[in-house]
Chain A
Protein backbone atom coordinates (compact mmCIF):
# COMPACT_ATOMS: atom_id res chain seq x y z
CA UNK A 1 0.00 0.00 0.00
CA UNK A 2 2.22 2.85 -1.21
CA UNK A 3 -0.48 5.47 -0.57
CA UNK A 4 -0.73 4.55 3.11
CA UNK A 5 3.05 4.46 3.54
CA UNK A 6 3.43 7.88 1.95
CA UNK A 7 0.60 9.23 4.09
CA UNK A 8 2.25 7.95 7.27
CA UNK A 9 5.59 9.40 6.19
CA UNK A 10 3.83 12.72 5.60
CA UNK A 11 2.42 12.64 9.11
CA UNK A 12 5.79 11.73 10.61
CA UNK A 13 7.48 14.57 8.77
CA UNK A 14 4.81 17.11 9.70
CA UNK A 15 5.74 19.99 11.93
CA UNK A 16 3.48 18.87 14.79
CA UNK A 17 4.82 15.31 14.79
CA UNK A 18 8.41 16.49 14.52
CA UNK A 19 7.87 18.80 17.49
CA UNK A 20 6.97 15.74 19.60
CA UNK A 21 9.16 13.04 18.03
CA UNK A 22 12.23 14.76 16.65
CA UNK A 23 13.43 11.96 14.40
CA UNK A 24 10.85 12.10 11.57
CA UNK A 25 10.56 9.36 8.95
CA UNK A 26 13.34 7.35 7.40
CA UNK A 27 14.65 3.82 7.80
CA UNK A 28 18.38 4.40 7.99
CA UNK A 29 20.16 3.02 11.04
CA UNK A 30 20.65 6.56 12.28
CA UNK A 31 16.92 7.29 12.10
CA UNK A 32 16.05 4.10 13.92
CA UNK A 33 18.64 4.74 16.60
CA UNK A 34 17.45 8.30 17.11
CA UNK A 35 13.83 7.14 17.39
CA UNK A 36 14.85 5.05 20.40
CA UNK A 37 17.40 7.40 21.92
CA UNK A 38 15.20 10.47 21.77
CA UNK A 39 12.21 8.85 23.47
CA UNK A 40 12.22 9.13 27.25
CA UNK A 41 10.61 5.70 27.65
CA UNK A 42 12.45 3.83 24.91
CA UNK A 43 15.86 5.27 25.76
CA UNK A 44 16.01 2.96 28.77
CA UNK A 45 16.27 0.06 26.32
CA UNK A 46 19.04 -0.72 23.89
CA UNK A 47 18.87 0.46 20.30
CA UNK A 48 20.02 -2.99 19.21
CA UNK A 49 19.88 -6.34 20.95
CA UNK A 50 21.57 -9.59 20.10
CA UNK A 51 19.15 -12.06 18.66
CA UNK A 52 20.41 -14.69 21.07
CA UNK A 53 19.41 -12.45 24.02
CA UNK A 54 15.75 -12.83 23.00
CA UNK A 55 15.84 -16.63 23.26
CA UNK A 56 13.81 -18.15 26.05
CA UNK A 57 16.71 -20.29 27.21
CA UNK A 58 18.88 -17.27 28.02
CA UNK A 59 16.69 -15.61 30.63
CA UNK A 60 13.51 -17.70 30.82
CA UNK A 61 11.98 -14.19 30.56
CA UNK A 62 11.87 -14.05 34.36
CA UNK A 63 12.62 -10.33 34.60
CA UNK A 64 10.05 -9.45 31.95
CA UNK A 65 7.47 -11.66 33.63
CA UNK A 66 8.16 -9.90 36.95
CA UNK A 67 7.60 -6.58 35.21
CA UNK A 68 4.39 -7.94 33.70
CA UNK A 69 3.18 -8.88 37.17
CA UNK A 70 4.08 -5.39 38.37
CA UNK A 71 1.97 -3.82 35.60
CA UNK A 72 -0.98 -6.05 36.44
CA UNK A 73 -0.58 -5.15 40.11
CA UNK A 74 -0.52 -1.42 39.38
CA UNK A 75 -3.65 -1.56 37.22
CA UNK A 76 -5.67 -3.87 39.47
CA UNK A 77 -4.39 -2.03 42.55
CA UNK A 78 -5.61 1.33 41.28
CA UNK A 79 -9.00 -0.21 40.53
CA UNK A 80 -9.19 -1.79 44.00
CA UNK A 81 -8.42 1.61 45.55
CA UNK A 82 -11.67 2.96 44.07
CA UNK A 83 -13.70 0.84 46.51
CA UNK A 84 -11.36 0.75 49.51
CA UNK A 85 -11.33 3.01 52.58
CA UNK A 86 -8.23 2.52 54.75
CA UNK A 87 -10.13 2.94 58.02
CA UNK A 88 -11.22 0.68 60.86
CA UNK A 89 -13.44 -1.32 60.50
CA UNK A 90 -14.57 -0.09 57.08
CA UNK A 91 -11.58 -1.71 55.34
CA UNK A 92 -12.83 -5.22 56.10
CA UNK A 93 -16.35 -4.40 54.90
CA UNK A 94 -14.93 -2.88 51.71
CA UNK A 95 -12.90 -6.02 51.08
CA UNK A 96 -16.01 -8.16 51.53
CA UNK A 97 -18.02 -5.83 49.28
CA UNK A 98 -15.29 -6.18 46.69
CA UNK A 99 -15.81 -9.95 46.75
CA UNK A 100 -19.58 -10.11 46.86
CA UNK A 101 -21.08 -6.82 45.64
CA UNK A 102 -18.83 -5.02 43.17
CA UNK A 103 -19.10 -6.20 39.57
CA UNK A 104 -15.94 -8.12 38.66
CA UNK A 105 -14.55 -7.17 42.07
CA UNK A 106 -13.65 -10.70 43.08
CA UNK A 107 -11.83 -11.14 39.77
CA UNK A 108 -9.72 -8.02 40.30
CA UNK A 109 -9.00 -8.82 43.93
CA UNK A 110 -7.91 -12.35 43.12
CA UNK A 111 -5.89 -11.16 40.14
CA UNK A 112 -4.11 -8.69 42.43
CA UNK A 113 -3.46 -11.36 45.05
CA UNK A 114 -2.23 -14.04 42.67
CA UNK A 115 -0.08 -11.59 40.74
CA UNK A 116 1.47 -10.49 44.01
CA UNK A 117 2.34 -14.09 44.91
CA UNK A 118 3.60 -14.71 41.36
CA UNK A 119 5.74 -11.58 41.43
CA UNK A 120 7.51 -12.59 44.64
CA UNK A 121 8.11 -16.04 43.17
CA UNK A 122 9.30 -14.69 39.82
CA UNK A 123 11.61 -12.11 41.40
CA UNK A 124 13.25 -14.85 43.46
CA UNK A 125 13.52 -17.07 40.39
CA UNK A 126 14.97 -14.15 38.42
CA UNK A 127 17.64 -13.65 41.09
CA UNK A 128 18.52 -17.34 41.22
CA UNK A 129 18.76 -17.40 37.45
CA UNK A 130 21.02 -14.34 37.44
CA UNK A 131 23.12 -15.83 40.21
CA UNK A 132 23.63 -19.26 38.70
CA UNK A 133 24.31 -17.87 35.21
CA UNK A 134 26.91 -15.54 36.68
CA UNK A 135 25.12 -12.51 35.29
CA UNK A 136 25.84 -10.57 38.47
CA UNK A 137 29.57 -10.43 37.65
CA UNK A 138 31.30 -7.26 36.41
CA UNK A 139 30.32 -5.13 34.62
CA UNK A 140 26.86 -5.91 35.95
CA UNK A 141 27.66 -5.92 39.67
CA UNK A 142 25.90 -2.63 40.39
CA UNK A 143 22.73 -3.79 38.65
CA UNK A 144 22.75 -6.80 40.97
CA UNK A 145 22.72 -4.36 43.90
CA UNK A 146 19.77 -2.51 42.34
CA UNK A 147 18.13 -5.91 41.95
CA UNK A 148 18.57 -6.64 45.66
CA UNK A 149 16.90 -3.30 46.45
CA UNK A 150 14.03 -4.25 44.12
CA UNK A 151 13.70 -7.62 45.87
CA UNK A 152 13.39 -5.77 49.18
CA UNK A 153 10.81 -3.37 47.74
CA UNK A 154 8.85 -6.32 46.35
CA UNK A 155 8.83 -8.02 49.75
CA UNK A 156 7.82 -4.79 51.54
CA UNK A 157 5.02 -4.28 49.00
CA UNK A 158 3.86 -7.83 49.66
CA UNK A 159 4.05 -7.33 53.41
CA UNK A 160 2.27 -3.96 53.52
CA UNK A 161 -0.47 -5.24 51.22
CA UNK A 162 -1.04 -8.12 53.59
CA UNK A 163 -2.55 -5.84 56.27
CA UNK A 164 -5.02 -4.07 54.03
CA UNK A 165 -7.87 -6.65 54.04
CA UNK A 166 -8.00 -6.04 57.82
CA UNK A 167 -9.04 -9.61 58.64
CA UNK A 168 -7.67 -11.87 61.37
CA UNK A 169 -4.91 -13.20 59.14
CA UNK A 170 -3.79 -9.68 58.26
CA UNK A 171 -3.93 -8.40 61.83
CA UNK A 172 -1.92 -11.23 63.38
CA UNK A 173 0.54 -11.43 60.51
CA UNK A 174 1.44 -7.78 60.97
CA UNK A 175 1.48 -8.18 64.75
CA UNK A 176 3.99 -11.01 64.40
CA UNK A 177 5.97 -9.30 61.67
CA UNK A 178 6.29 -6.01 63.52
CA UNK A 179 7.38 -7.88 66.66
CA UNK A 180 10.13 -9.51 64.62
CA UNK A 181 11.09 -6.01 63.50
CA UNK A 182 11.46 -4.95 67.14
CA UNK A 183 14.27 -7.49 67.51
CA UNK A 184 16.57 -4.99 65.75
CA UNK A 185 19.23 -4.05 68.34
CA UNK A 186 18.72 -0.80 70.26
CA UNK A 187 16.35 0.83 67.75
CA UNK A 188 13.92 -2.10 67.31
CA UNK A 189 11.11 -0.91 69.55
CA UNK A 190 11.37 2.61 68.12
CA UNK A 191 11.22 1.37 64.51
CA UNK A 192 8.17 -0.72 65.31
CA UNK A 193 6.51 2.28 66.98
CA UNK A 194 7.17 4.44 63.92
CA UNK A 195 6.06 1.84 61.37
CA UNK A 196 2.82 1.09 63.20
CA UNK A 197 2.19 4.64 64.38
CA UNK A 198 1.41 3.20 67.82
CA UNK A 199 2.07 0.31 70.16
CA UNK A 200 -0.39 -2.11 68.55
CA UNK A 201 -1.66 -2.77 65.04
CA UNK A 202 -4.45 -0.24 64.83
CA UNK A 203 -6.03 2.46 62.67
CA UNK A 204 -2.74 4.35 62.36
CA UNK A 205 -0.93 1.21 61.26
CA UNK A 206 -3.59 0.50 58.64
CA UNK A 207 -3.29 4.02 57.23
CA UNK A 208 0.53 3.94 57.24
CA UNK A 209 0.62 0.58 55.52
CA UNK A 210 -1.91 1.86 52.98
CA UNK A 211 0.21 4.90 52.14
CA UNK A 212 3.36 2.77 51.96
CA UNK A 213 1.64 0.17 49.80
CA UNK A 214 -0.15 2.51 47.39
CA UNK A 215 2.23 5.44 47.12
CA UNK A 216 5.69 5.32 48.67
CA UNK A 217 6.80 1.80 47.78
CA UNK A 218 5.43 1.84 44.20
CA UNK A 219 7.22 5.15 43.56
CA UNK A 220 10.46 3.69 44.92
CA UNK A 221 9.91 0.58 42.80
CA UNK A 222 9.38 2.56 39.58
CA UNK A 223 12.45 4.66 40.35
CA UNK A 224 14.71 1.65 40.80
CA UNK A 225 13.08 -0.26 37.91
CA UNK A 226 14.00 2.60 35.59
CA UNK A 227 17.62 2.47 36.76
CA UNK A 228 17.58 -1.33 36.53
CA UNK A 229 16.48 -1.38 32.87
CA UNK A 230 18.72 1.52 31.88
CA UNK A 231 21.70 -0.25 33.46
CA UNK A 232 21.06 -3.33 31.29
CA UNK A 233 21.84 -1.18 28.25
CA UNK A 234 24.71 0.62 29.94
CA UNK A 235 26.26 -2.67 31.05
CA UNK A 236 26.32 -4.06 27.53
CA UNK A 237 22.93 -5.69 27.13
CA UNK A 238 21.54 -8.86 28.63
CA UNK A 239 24.05 -11.40 29.84
CA UNK A 240 23.89 -14.26 27.37
CA UNK A 241 26.73 -16.43 28.62
CA UNK A 242 30.26 -16.72 27.28
CA UNK A 243 29.82 -19.91 25.29
CA UNK A 244 26.88 -18.61 23.30
CA UNK A 245 27.93 -15.01 23.11
CA UNK A 246 30.73 -15.32 20.60
CA UNK A 247 29.08 -17.16 17.78
CA UNK A 248 25.66 -15.51 17.77
CA UNK A 249 26.86 -11.97 18.15
CA UNK A 250 25.33 -10.20 15.22
Chain B
Protein backbone atom coordinates (compact mmCIF):
# COMPACT_ATOMS: atom_id res chain seq x y z
CA UNK B 1 0.00 0.00 0.00
CA UNK B 2 1.48 3.33 -0.97
CA UNK B 3 -0.49 5.46 1.52
CA UNK B 4 0.07 3.37 4.65
CA UNK B 5 2.37 4.23 7.58
CA UNK B 6 -0.08 6.79 8.85
CA UNK B 7 0.65 6.77 12.57
CA UNK B 8 -2.77 6.57 14.22
CA UNK B 9 -1.72 8.46 17.32
CA UNK B 10 1.27 9.72 19.23
CA UNK B 11 2.60 7.41 21.92
CA UNK B 12 0.87 4.35 20.49
CA UNK B 13 2.95 1.25 20.25
CA UNK B 14 2.45 -2.39 19.57
CA UNK B 15 3.65 -3.14 23.08
CA UNK B 16 1.05 -0.88 24.67
CA UNK B 17 -1.66 -2.38 22.49
CA UNK B 18 -0.62 -5.92 23.45
CA UNK B 19 -0.50 -5.01 27.11
CA UNK B 20 -3.97 -3.49 27.10
CA UNK B 21 -5.32 -6.32 25.00
CA UNK B 22 -3.91 -9.16 27.08
CA UNK B 23 -4.91 -7.35 30.28
CA UNK B 24 -8.49 -6.91 29.09
CA UNK B 25 -8.75 -10.54 28.02
CA UNK B 26 -7.36 -11.66 31.39
CA UNK B 27 -9.89 -9.55 33.30
CA UNK B 28 -12.70 -10.81 31.07
CA UNK B 29 -11.54 -14.40 31.51
CA UNK B 30 -11.49 -14.22 35.30
CA UNK B 31 -14.83 -12.40 35.29
CA UNK B 32 -16.37 -15.06 33.06
CA UNK B 33 -15.10 -17.82 35.32
CA UNK B 34 -16.60 -16.20 38.44
CA UNK B 35 -19.79 -15.36 36.54
CA UNK B 36 -20.06 -18.90 35.20
CA UNK B 37 -19.51 -20.48 38.61
CA UNK B 38 -22.11 -18.24 40.24
CA UNK B 39 -24.62 -18.89 37.46
CA UNK B 40 -24.14 -22.65 37.49
CA UNK B 41 -24.59 -22.94 41.28
CA UNK B 42 -28.35 -23.06 41.91
CA UNK B 43 -29.46 -20.60 44.57
CA UNK B 44 -32.71 -22.45 45.26
CA UNK B 45 -33.21 -26.21 45.15
CA UNK B 46 -36.57 -27.85 44.64
CA UNK B 47 -35.55 -31.04 46.39
CA UNK B 48 -37.63 -32.81 49.03
CA UNK B 49 -36.93 -31.87 52.62
CA UNK B 50 -34.39 -34.13 54.33
CA UNK B 51 -36.74 -34.32 57.33
CA UNK B 52 -39.40 -37.04 57.02
CA UNK B 53 -42.51 -37.06 59.21
CA UNK B 54 -43.13 -40.76 59.82
CA UNK B 55 -46.36 -40.37 61.80
CA UNK B 56 -47.19 -41.68 65.26
CA UNK B 57 -44.76 -44.24 66.68
CA UNK B 58 -47.56 -46.70 67.48
CA UNK B 59 -47.92 -47.28 63.74
CA UNK B 60 -44.79 -49.41 64.07
CA UNK B 61 -45.46 -52.59 66.11
CA UNK B 62 -42.61 -54.29 68.01
CA UNK B 63 -40.32 -56.53 65.99
CA UNK B 64 -41.26 -54.95 62.69
CA UNK B 65 -39.38 -53.44 59.76
CA UNK B 66 -41.35 -50.86 57.79
CA UNK B 67 -39.84 -49.76 54.48
CA UNK B 68 -40.52 -46.24 53.22
CA UNK B 69 -38.87 -46.53 49.83
CA UNK B 70 -40.19 -43.15 48.71
CA UNK B 71 -38.00 -41.61 51.39
CA UNK B 72 -35.33 -44.30 51.09
CA UNK B 73 -35.39 -45.61 54.66
CA UNK B 74 -36.51 -48.42 56.98
CA UNK B 75 -38.18 -47.75 60.30
CA UNK B 76 -37.28 -50.63 62.59
CA UNK B 77 -38.93 -51.37 65.92
CA UNK B 78 -36.49 -53.65 67.69
CA UNK B 79 -36.23 -54.82 71.30
CA UNK B 80 -34.44 -51.61 72.35
CA UNK B 81 -36.77 -49.20 70.63
CA UNK B 82 -37.41 -47.55 67.28
CA UNK B 83 -34.58 -46.56 64.95
CA UNK B 84 -34.20 -45.70 61.31
CA UNK B 85 -31.85 -47.14 58.71
CA UNK B 86 -31.09 -45.57 55.38
CA UNK B 87 -32.16 -47.89 52.57
CA UNK B 88 -29.33 -46.64 50.37
CA UNK B 89 -26.66 -49.30 49.93
CA UNK B 90 -23.20 -48.16 51.05
CA UNK B 91 -21.61 -49.84 48.04
CA UNK B 92 -22.76 -47.72 45.07
CA UNK B 93 -25.98 -46.11 46.21
CA UNK B 94 -28.68 -48.52 45.00
CA UNK B 95 -31.93 -48.73 46.92
CA UNK B 96 -31.99 -51.94 48.95
CA UNK B 97 -35.07 -54.11 49.55
CA UNK B 98 -36.51 -55.62 52.76
CA UNK B 99 -36.93 -59.40 52.46
CA UNK B 100 -39.51 -60.29 55.15
CA UNK B 101 -39.36 -64.04 54.41
CA UNK B 102 -35.59 -64.07 55.14
CA UNK B 103 -35.55 -61.28 57.69
CA UNK B 104 -32.71 -59.47 55.91
CA UNK B 105 -32.15 -56.40 53.79
CA UNK B 106 -30.71 -57.18 50.34
CA UNK B 107 -29.33 -55.00 47.62
CA UNK B 108 -30.46 -56.01 44.11
CA UNK B 109 -27.49 -54.44 42.34
CA UNK B 110 -24.44 -56.32 43.61
CA UNK B 111 -25.85 -58.69 46.20
CA UNK B 112 -24.92 -57.08 49.51
CA UNK B 113 -27.00 -58.38 52.44
CA UNK B 114 -27.58 -56.66 55.77
CA UNK B 115 -29.14 -57.48 59.13
CA UNK B 116 -31.93 -55.31 60.50
CA UNK B 117 -29.43 -53.34 62.58
CA UNK B 118 -27.63 -52.40 59.38
CA UNK B 119 -24.56 -54.59 59.79
CA UNK B 120 -23.37 -56.47 56.74
CA UNK B 121 -23.85 -60.18 56.28
CA UNK B 122 -22.06 -60.49 52.95
CA UNK B 123 -21.35 -58.67 49.74
CA UNK B 124 -19.23 -55.77 48.50
CA UNK B 125 -20.72 -53.03 50.73
CA UNK B 126 -17.83 -51.40 52.63
CA UNK B 127 -19.89 -50.14 55.59
CA UNK B 128 -23.09 -51.05 57.43
CA UNK B 129 -26.30 -49.29 56.41
CA UNK B 130 -26.39 -45.76 57.76
CA UNK B 131 -28.35 -45.02 60.92
CA UNK B 132 -30.38 -41.81 60.68
CA UNK B 133 -31.26 -39.38 63.44
CA UNK B 134 -34.76 -40.22 64.68
CA UNK B 135 -36.64 -38.18 67.25
CA UNK B 136 -40.11 -37.35 68.49
CA UNK B 137 -41.55 -34.05 67.39
CA UNK B 138 -43.70 -31.70 69.47
CA UNK B 139 -46.85 -33.32 68.09
CA UNK B 140 -45.62 -36.79 69.06
CA UNK B 141 -44.76 -37.81 65.51
CA UNK B 142 -41.54 -39.55 64.58
CA UNK B 143 -39.19 -37.21 62.75
CA UNK B 144 -36.33 -38.63 60.72
CA UNK B 145 -33.56 -36.34 59.54
CA UNK B 146 -31.96 -37.87 56.46
CA UNK B 147 -29.27 -35.19 56.45
CA UNK B 148 -27.96 -36.30 59.88
CA UNK B 149 -26.22 -39.68 59.74
CA UNK B 150 -25.45 -41.12 63.18
CA UNK B 151 -22.11 -42.59 64.11
CA UNK B 152 -23.66 -44.48 67.05
CA UNK B 153 -26.85 -46.38 67.79
CA UNK B 154 -29.72 -44.33 69.13
CA UNK B 155 -33.24 -45.53 69.88
CA UNK B 156 -36.61 -43.87 70.39
CA UNK B 157 -38.31 -45.67 73.30
CA UNK B 158 -42.05 -45.36 73.80
Residue positions of A touching B, CB distance < 8 A: 51, 79, 82-83, 97, 101-105, 108, 250
Contact = CB atoms under 8 A, between A and B. Distances in A.
Contact of B39 (A51, A97, A103, A250): A103
B30 interface: no
Q: How large is the interface on B (under 10, 10 to 19, 20 to 34, 35 or more residues)?
A: under 10
B43 A51 contact: no
Chain A interface mostly: loop
Nearest to A51: B1
20 contacts: A51-B1, A79-B39, A82-B40, A83-B42, A97-B44, A101-B43, A101-B44, A102-B39, A102-B42, A102-B43, A103-B38, A103-B39, A103-B41, A103-B43, A104-B35, A104-B38, A104-B39, A105-B39, A108-B39, A250-B1
Nearest to A93: B46
Nearest to B35: A104
Interface of B: 1, 35, 38-44
Question: Which of A79, A83, A102, A250 has the largest number of chain B CB atoms within 10 A?
Answer: A102
B44 to A, nearest CB: 5
A234 B147 CA distance: 64
3 nearest A-B pairs in the assembled complex, by CB-CB distance: A103-B38, A104-B39, A101-B44
Contacts of B41: 103
B69 to A, nearest CB: 26
A108 B35 CA distance: 11
A102 B45 CA distance: 11
A41 to B, nearest CB: 20
